[in-house]
């Protein structure tokens, strides 16, 4: 888990485009809201590998959302229940359920459907938020972190110079 965080820190302080970092976080929120371990989550994760984004930010976003999931699980469940019980979509869900392999995606699970809907709804706001936060971090917080005593102390240890390099803006 430390390697993706180190890559994220390098991306935040390097020449990685802010849109790539922001889309990584947005994908992370989407994947974090959907319960892992079913065919749908695995397929969606594999699809994300096609797109250009920061994978460290994606993994960090998944981790943050999974840590917060006990606080939001009831909202996700209620959203999924609402969508799955819409009269207008019942015939569509029946056709989907009778297709081969589609039931293995667990689309008819309230947490899966609610997580998918919540992730889709939150994708653009999370993307926009991180488009705003990445330059703010790069211009204000990163220089302060670089000059902090703890980073200067860490820089003295040969094994931990990677962390110091990750906070340098010269890449």
pLDDT tens-digit readout, 101-129: 888 888 889 999 999 999 999 999 999 99
> Is the model's pTM score more than 0.85?
no
Q: How far is CA 147 from the centre of its chain?
A: 29
Lowest mean pLDDT among 53-67, 130-144, 155-169: 155-169
How large is the average pLDDT for residues 60-88? 93
**What are the residue ranges spanned by the domains of the chain?**
2-139
* Cβ pair 26, 130 in contact under 8 A: yes
DSSP the chain: -HHHHHHHHHHHHTT--HHHHHHHHHHHHHHHHSPTTSHHHHHHHHHHTTS-S-HHHHHHHHHHHHHHHHHHHHHHHHHHHHHHT-GGGHHHHHHHHTSSSGGGGTTTSHHHHHHHHHHHHHHHHHHHHHHHHHHHIIIIIHHHHHTSHHHHHHTTSGGGHHHHHHH-S--
Question: What confidence tens digit (pLDDT) does each residue in 14-37 have?
Answer: 777 889 999 999 999 999 999 988
pLDDT of residue 171: 43
Asked if residue 52 has pLDDT above 80, the reply is: yes
Question: What confidence tens digit (pLDDT) does each residue in 127-141 have?
Answer: 999 999 988 888 888
Distance, CA of 103 to CA of 67 (rounded, Å): 28
């Amino acid at each position: 888990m430390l390697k993706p965080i180190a890559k994220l820190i390098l991306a935040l302080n390097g020449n990685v485009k802010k849109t790539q970092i922001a889309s990584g976080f947005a994908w992370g929120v989407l994947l974090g809201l959907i319960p892992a371990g079913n065919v749908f989550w695995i397929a969606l994760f594999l699809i994300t590998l096609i797109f250009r984004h920061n994978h460290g930010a994606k993994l960090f976003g998944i981790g943050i959302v999974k840590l917060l999931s006990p606080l939001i699980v009831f909202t996700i469940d209620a959203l999924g229940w609402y969508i799955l019980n819409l009269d207008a979509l019942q015939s569509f869900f029946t056709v989907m359920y009778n297709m081969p392999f589609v039931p293995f995606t667990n689309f008819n699970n309230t947490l899966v459907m609610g997580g998918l809907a919540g992730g889709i709804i939150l994708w653009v706001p999370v993307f926009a938020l991180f488009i705003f936060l990445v330059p703010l971090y790069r211009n204000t917080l990163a220089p302060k972190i670089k000059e902090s005593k703890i980073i200067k102390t860490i820089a003295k240890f040969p094994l931990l110079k990677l962390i110091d390099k990750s906070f340098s803006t010269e890449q």
